[in-house]
Amino acid sequence: MSEPSSVLVHLLDKEFRVACPAEEKENLIRAARHLDEKMREVRSSNVLGLERIAVMAALNLAHDLLLAKGELSQQQDGGDRVGRLLDRVEAELAALRDI
């Protein structure tokens, strides 16, 4: 991992300098843009105060993350079930070949 470098990000027209590894710079900038969009959405719904806007945006992002994790978990569970069914089918086919 490389040495941390400093990246300037903009959130609601304010500048924040954030340290991060050089290889993560683009990810940090993308994350900051996404957060800025969410914060602007919250502000447009008449939420006032930077701290309140930041907390509401964080809660919205956490909610989105939990939904995405749940969907991924369901997909993985479904994939596991399909895998088990395929194993059973293959076992049955092998048993039929042995007859």
Domains, the chain, ranges and CATH? Answer: 4-98 (3.30.160.880)
Three-class SS of the chain: CCCEEEEEEEECCEEEEEEEEHHHHHHHHHHHHHHHHHHHHHHHCCCCCHHHHHHHHHHHHHHHHHHHHHHHHHHHHHHHHHHHHHHHHHHHHHHHHHC
For residue 79, what are its two tokens? 């994939």
Q: Is 14 within 8 Å of 34 (Cβ atoms)? A: no
Confidence of residue 2 (pLDDT cuts 50, 70, 90): low
Res 64: pLDDT = 94
Q: What are 41-50's pLDDT values in tens digits?
A: 999 999 999 9
Q: What pTM was computed for the model?
A: 0.69
